[in-house]
Chains A and B, each alone.
Chain A
Amino acid sequence: MPKDHGIGASPKRREDIRFLTGAGNYTDDINIHGQAYVHFLRSDVAHGTINSIDASAAEAMEGVLKVFTAKDFEAVGGLPCGWQVTDRFGEAMQEPKHPILAEGKVRHVGDPIAAVVAETPEIARDAAEAIVVDIDELPAVVDMKAALAAGAPKVHDDLTSNLCYDWGFVEENKDAVDEAIKNAAHVTTLELTNNRLVANPMEPRVAIGDYSRGTDEHTLYTTSQNPHVIRLLMGAFVLGIPEHKLRVVAPDVGGGFGTKIFHYAEEAFVTFAAKVVNRPVKWTASRSEAFISDAHGRDHVTKIELALDADNNFVALRTDTHANMGAYLSTFAPSVPTWLHGTLMAGNYTTPLIYVNVKAVFTNTVPVDAYRGAGRPEATFQLERVVDKAARELGVDPAELRRQNFIKPEQFPYDTPVAVSYDTGNYHATLDTGLKMVDYANFEARAAESKARGKLRGIGLAHYIEACGIAPSNLVGQLGARAGLYESATVRVNATGSISVLTGSHSHGQGHETTFPQVIAEMIGIDESQVDIVHGDTSKTPMGMGTYGSRSIAVGGSAMFKAAEKVINKAKKIAAHLMEASEADIELADGQFSVAGTDKSVAWGDVCLAAYVPHNYPLEDLEPGLEETAFYDPSNFTYPSGAYFCEVEVDPDTGAIDILSFNAADDFGNVINPMIVEGQVHGGVAQGIGQAMLEHAAYDENGQLLSGSFMDYAMPRAADVPSFGVDHSCQTPCTHNPLGVKGCGEAGAIGSPPALVNAVIDALHRGGYPVEHIDMPLSPSRVWNAIQSVK
């Protein structure tokens, strides 16, 4: 029988009650007495020289407090980049300044030029229209390869070119890989694009700056996944405000998907401006503004070559990728196409030789950074597409070609040739589970039935690996991270036994308020309702690194576990004193401390009360109170994996795709709340289907974003996705964190695009249309045109 509480149970998400009844407290719900409003005047050309900005008419308008331009920020730093990549030749990447407001040049449509602070949002907007900006438009670079051509216009005049870095990994393997590919029995080559995406969380970004003259304290309320990271970056590198005078609050946040990790200009602006105008300053992005100011995702162009021997064993893999950085380096942009991508190129396979080359390129487009999966979807997509193509070329079953090359269960821990060491996994088990879920054996009969109706049925498989639980600080430090990636938690036991857990993790849809208490309840044996989670406020929680990279339960949960262990150990000492027993004999079960082998016991609540009302207490040995903090730094990444299957029907006359089924067999290690895990997979798969079939951030050759609204940028809707089959019964617990968990937040978005594209290509081949590849999104017109191209 399933458990009804604690680890492994599926209580409903407690936070949903407030979200679903309009009782949430989002940043835009916060209004501070006396607040003013800012409107940013943004560039409508992609590249240009600013000759002059005349704000006199705007400043003269009634209700305008001040118009800011780059001049006001001369004493302030630019937005910092949190990761430095070293190139193939040992040189640091090219790192341009990223000013708060454009200095001398605009570099993408949406680049902020000036900011009007006024009494109302309407006045601010009207006044922004009255600012006269004289810009000489310059030719824009949009295409990455064109940006690297000799004589291409430079996005940053002070850099030597538009090349941010040319990264090779593992550089020492390059010659051996080239040699192996030259001598291989078979080489499968594929060129593909990982389309550019806009994250589009339901809640657009909002920031409010508040300054107290009385205490010289700054507060920033912001839609962030990691308030402590924002405080560190903005305080130390941009505005020069010490941490004790700067509080960052990220209250309820309506979805992040990566795009709310980064430190944005608007956050620094409102914090700075609030002091200058001596009023709270609020900014709320419109959806249109979000499209041209939120960091975009993906945008890789790749050539991948897979070499196989005569027995179909993978012998070498070589990739050549161009990765778009956009106009500036967003906070973690350089890490995504490198360490979060190259290290995953082994996938689930024993390929002994791998070489990954990545050229990161500046263009006159919105900056590109991590988006749900961040580097790992890019790695998985190309690898699982090329493996599928190889199976077709060799005439073998794609599931069997994968199985043959899988790392075998007995080979773990497994050191890949791309620097990471997988602790556990069982890819054969997830593949077999997936094959059963989709009834693979009877696919041919279903395909025949579709054919009789004039439809093309196809089945696609992708087997993914990801590296989660980000990350061992000493390792990422060597790789260029300018931050540690531990997590923190304080377990604060109140006098009558209820508990507040102060965590550095941040929930913006993940359900921490439900799952974290399940862990504490399990450890102590008290009801989950006795435990609350506090997060998202630097003045309340210990310094933590926030939520991204499926790290919360693996790293934040482990910190909480360690802090709870400390609390329990101290409580056992108190219980031993109360029962006049030896600490070694104290056992904790179901919220009762008992002395082993006796009927003596004392309740959890009584021990807690003794800690805060220490009338009968070992004061000479033990401090009063019951509150412990732990910082947890993981010793390795975690490696969730899984088999994803998509079955489609393609209409050859229209190119329309109907997804008939989508099944996911994941190995997330131990699972705290199965319902929430399934929800995470559902959401991830829906986003992956969005990328594969619908979503595309399209720029024209002048750098204008063409799909800049929900009229042209197609988000997946309920009717676009099937009812998902989800299984996580294959569990190989993580060996190096105390909960044995691996993380599940990104898996769906990683495994689903290649499964879907593989299914469509399979359908076309079965229908007699030998199409080798279609770039995402697989819109009906692209599929139809591909069919016509081989007719």
Chain B
Amino acid sequence: MQMTDSREIAADRQTVWAALLSADVLKECVPGCQEMTGSPEDGFEATVTQKVGPVKATFKGAVSLSDIVEGESLTLSGEGKGGAAGFAKGGAKVTLEDLPEGGTKLSYEVDAKVGGKLAQLGSRIIDGVARKMADQFFERFQTTVEGPAEPEEASDEAPEGEQKKGWVKKVFGG
């Protein structure tokens, strides 16, 4: 299954780029992510729990970054093994461009592949699940990078807002 889409993010390209390389951001944004450790250089180790139709499984796997063109584009590839549930593999080629009116356009091409019981039992719905996961990932990524949009929203979701602020601080040392 393959798909392409793009988002406009209200942050400059360097901010978006830095967020893409952060284990904390990835953990925040990968739907169902329980754990994410590592670094852009050595790759990340991830634990993700997902349900595809009747199959619910915890996938342990590696996420690596490749084809890095500093500040412009990279490819995120992941492969997770879910034991008896089978495996899931996926990649996203992400490209960043400055928007004329400020902000950054993030474009992505995603492809995903499943095998074993996931394919056997869940193939009918896997395209929908993958699309939803990709949408969720970039939705959360956008929210995380942009930070809380409105003050009242921030107070509604105080812990999440705190976390987001915390990340921005950490990255920019502020």
A: residues with CB less than 8 A from B are 44-46, 109, 125, 128-129, 288, 291-292, 700, 702, 704-709, 711-712
B 116-131 binary contact with A (CB < 8 Å = 1; else 0): 1101110110000000
A548 to chain B, nearest CB (A): 28
**Is residue B113 within 8 Å, beta carbon to beta carbon, of the partner chain?**
yes
User: Can you list 11 pairs linking A and B with CB atoms under 8 Å apart?
Assistant: A44-B87, A44-B115, A45-B87, A109-B115, A128-B84, A129-B83, A129-B84, A704-B123, A708-B123, A711-B54, A711-B121
Contact A708 B114 (CB under 8 A): no
Contact B120 A292 (CB under 8 A): yes
**Is residue B86 within 8 Å, beta carbon to beta carbon, of the partner chain?**
yes
- The interface residues of chain B lying within 8 Å CB-to-CB of A711 are 53-54, 121, 124
Contact B124 A44 (CB under 8 A): no
Contact B120 A705 (CB under 8 A): yes
Of A46, A109, A125, A706, which is within 8 A of B84 by CB?
A125
Contact A44 B117 (CB under 8 A): yes
Contact B123 A712 (CB under 8 A): yes
- The interface residues of chain A lying within 8 Å CB-to-CB of B83 are 129
- In this complex, what residue of B is CB-closest to A39? B84
B119 to chain A, nearest CB (A): 4
- The interface residues of chain B lying within 8 Å CB-to-CB of A704 are 114-116, 119-120, 123
- The interface residues of chain B lying within 8 Å CB-to-CB of A45 are 87, 115
A698 to chain B, nearest CB (A): 8
A129 to B120, CA, bound (A): 18
Of A128, A700, A702, A709, which is within 8 A of B121 by CB?
A709
Within 8 A of A (CB), among B61-91: 83-84, 86-87
Given A288-B117, A292-B120, 5 extra CB contacts under 8 A: A44-B116, A45-B87, A109-B119, A708-B119, A712-B123
- The interface residues of chain B lying within 8 Å CB-to-CB of A288 are 117, 120-121
A288 to B123, CA, bound (A): 14
Contact B84 A705 (CB under 8 A): no
- In this complex, what residue of B is CB-closest to A699? B119
Contact B86 A706 (CB under 8 A): no
Of A125, A128, A708, which is within 8 A of B120 by CB?
A708
Within 8 A of A (CB), among B92-149: 113-117, 119-121, 123-124
Q: Which 8 A-B pairs have the closest CB atoms?
A: A44-B116, A708-B120, A704-B119, A706-B123, A129-B83, A44-B115, A44-B86, A709-B121
- The interface residues of chain A lying within 8 Å CB-to-CB of B124 are 706, 711-712
A702 to B123, CA, bound (A): 13
- B interface, size bucket: 10 to 19
A253 to chain B, nearest CB (A): 25
- The interface residues of chain A lying within 8 Å CB-to-CB of B53 are 711
Decide: A708 near B115, CB < 8 A? Known: A44-B86, A128-B84. Answer: no
- The interface residues of chain B lying within 8 Å CB-to-CB of A292 are 120
A288 to B54, CA, bound (A): 13
Decide: A706 near B117, CB < 8 A? Known: A44-B86, A129-B84. Answer: no
Q: Which of B86, B87, B114, B120 has the most CB of A within 10 A?
A: B120
- The interface residues of chain A lying within 8 Å CB-to-CB of B114 are 704
B132 to chain A, nearest CB (A): 19
Decide: A700 near B119, CB < 8 A? Known: A129-B83, A129-B84. Answer: yes
A109 to B117, CA, bound (A): 10
- In this complex, what residue of A is CB-closest to B83? A129
- In this complex, what residue of B is CB-closest to A41? B84
- The interface residues of chain B lying within 8 Å CB-to-CB of A707 are 123
- In this complex, what residue of A is CB-closest to B114? A704
B154 to chain A, nearest CB (A): 42
Contact A700 B123 (CB under 8 A): yes
Within 8 A of A (CB), among B141-172: none
Contact A702 B115 (CB under 8 A): yes
- The interface residues of chain A lying within 8 Å CB-to-CB of B87 are 44-45
A197 to B137, CA, bound (A): 39
Of B54, B86, B113, B120, which is within 8 A of A291 by CB?
B120
- The interface residues of chain A lying within 8 Å CB-to-CB of B121 are 288, 708-709, 711-712
A291 to B116, CA, bound (A): 12
B162 to chain A, nearest CB (A): 38
- The interface residues of chain B lying within 8 Å CB-to-CB of A291 are 120
Decide: A709 near B120, CB < 8 A? Known: A45-B115, A702-B113, A704-B114. Answer: yes
- The interface residues of chain A lying within 8 Å CB-to-CB of B120 are 109, 288, 291-292, 704-706, 708-709
Of B54, B113, B119, which is within 8 A of A706 by CB?
B119
- In this complex, what residue of A is CB-closest to B79? A137
A456 to B84, CA, bound (A): 47
- The interface residues of chain A lying within 8 Å CB-to-CB of B84 are 125, 128-129
Within 8 A of A (CB), among B3-44: none
A446 to chain B, nearest CB (A): 37
- The interface residues of chain B lying within 8 Å CB-to-CB of A700 are 119, 123
A704 to B87, CA, bound (A): 11
- The interface residues of chain B lying within 8 Å CB-to-CB of A125 are 84
- In this complex, what residue of A is CB-closest to B117? A288
- In this complex, what residue of B is CB-closest to A712? B124
A706 to B123, CA, bound (A): 6
A708 to B123, CA, bound (A): 9
A400 to chain B, nearest CB (A): 45
Q: Which of B54, B84, B86 has the most CB of A within 10 A?
A: B84
B146 to chain A, nearest CB (A): 37
B105 to chain A, nearest CB (A): 32
Contact B116 A109 (CB under 8 A): yes
Of A128, A129, A705, which is within 8 A of B119 by CB?
A705
A37 to chain B, nearest CB (A): 15
A45 to B120, CA, bound (A): 12
- In this complex, what residue of B is CB-closest to A43? B116
A700 to B119, CA, bound (A): 9
- The interface residues of chain A lying within 8 Å CB-to-CB of B115 are 44-46, 109, 702, 704
A44 to B82, CA, bound (A): 11
A115 to chain B, nearest CB (A): 14
B141 to chain A, nearest CB (A): 28
- In this complex, what residue of B is CB-closest to A702? B113
- In this complex, what residue of A is CB-closest to B85? A44
Q: Which of A44, A45, A109, A711 has the most CB of B within 10 A?
A: A44
A704 to B53, CA, bound (A): 17
- In this complex, what residue of A is CB-closest to B86? A44
A129 to B57, CA, bound (A): 12
- In this complex, what residue of A is CB-closest to B1? A700
A292 to B54, CA, bound (A): 18
A708 to B54, CA, bound (A): 13
A707 to B126, CA, bound (A): 13
A702 to B121, CA, bound (A): 16
A243 to B84, CA, bound (A): 38
A128 to B117, CA, bound (A): 15
A778 to B84, CA, bound (A): 34
Q: Which of A46, A291, A700, A707 has the most CB of B within 10 A?
A: A700
- The interface residues of chain A lying within 8 Å CB-to-CB of B54 are 711
A704 to B120, CA, bound (A): 7
A779 to chain B, nearest CB (A): 13
- In this complex, what residue of A is CB-closest to B124? A712
A700 to B84, CA, bound (A): 20
A114 to B114, CA, bound (A): 22
- The interface residues of chain B lying within 8 Å CB-to-CB of A109 are 115-116, 119-120
A765 to chain B, nearest CB (A): 33
Q: Which of B83, B86, B114, B124 has the most CB of A within 10 A?
A: B83
- In this complex, what residue of B is CB-closest to A45? B115
A723 to B53, CA, bound (A): 36
- In this complex, what residue of A is CB-closest to B116? A44
A121 to chain B, nearest CB (A): 13
- The interface residues of chain A lying within 8 Å CB-to-CB of B119 are 44, 109, 700, 704-706, 708
